[in-house]
Chain A
Amino acid sequence: QSALTQPPSASGSPGQSVTISCTGTSSDVGGYNHVSWYQQHPGKAPRLIIYEVIRRPSGVPDRFSGSKSGNTASLIVSGLQAEDEADYYCNSQAGTSSWVFGGGTKLTVL
């Protein structure tokens, strides 16, 4: 199973919006609505911020949102804040018995 494709980096100024893409195939992202996103600060464990494409766990700010079109999912971070600077990973169901992650995107808040 090949990793999902994410841009290596993204950036934005405080208050701006940034979109991070996650491209797969019809066997993963395009075939299922089980796309999730994770935020990881340096030296920390990942944190779930979006699941089932658009759902936010309790405690996650509504500045984080998700969407999907065809084989590409997107994470939108609105109203960027300094603490949003982190690595972001997408993940998708990949068939009936596996998961696949994206390569990760380093988000820089300018």
Chain B
Amino acid sequence: QVQLVESGGGVVQSGGSLRLSCATSGFTFRSYNMHWVRQAPGKGLEWVAFVWHDEHDKWYADSVKGRFTISRDNSKNTLFLQMNSLRPEDTAMYYCAKDNTAWAFDYWGQGTLVTVSS
């Protein structure tokens, strides 16, 4: 079965950096595009970033452009999110999600919590 397991969250000071990982299994990772989606405490979902299966292009929400970098290692079936210049408003649960090739997110991890203190 498809599994996505995020890790790397924690508490960081404003201006700091974190690197999130998402280990995947149960599907051919190298064939699928992937996303990061976040949810601030008590708030709604926000799409963050997208990477093509072969990394030939990456797309970002305006709110994180220039600060976050999405990447992947197809040899290790793992997705990453490098987060720099973190702000308190980046505090959220971060989910990795598999793209279903129809602009939807068909499998999600359980999330990893990032807290940015001011």
Listed in ascending order, the chain A residues whose CB lies under 8 Å from chain B are 1, 3, 32, 34, 36, 38, 40, 45-48, 51-52, 55, 57, 89, 91, 93, 97-104
Assess the A89–B111 pair: CB atoms within 8 A: no
Cross-chain contact A91 with B95 (CB below 8 angstroms): no
A–B complex contacts, Cβ < 8 Å, 27 sampled: A1-B61, A1-B62, A32-B103, A34-B103, A34-B104, A36-B103, A36-B104, A40-B45, A45-B108, A46-B45, A46-B105, A48-B100, A48-B106, A51-B104, A51-B106, A52-B102, A57-B100, A91-B45, A91-B47, A97-B50, A97-B59, A98-B61, A99-B103, A101-B44, A101-B46, A101-B47, A104-B44
Q: Please report B residues at the A interface, Cβ cutoff 8 Å.
A: 35, 37, 44-47, 50, 59, 61-62, 95, 100, 102-111
Q: Write out the residue numbers on chain A whose beta carbons fall within 8 Å of the beta carbon of B109.
A: 45
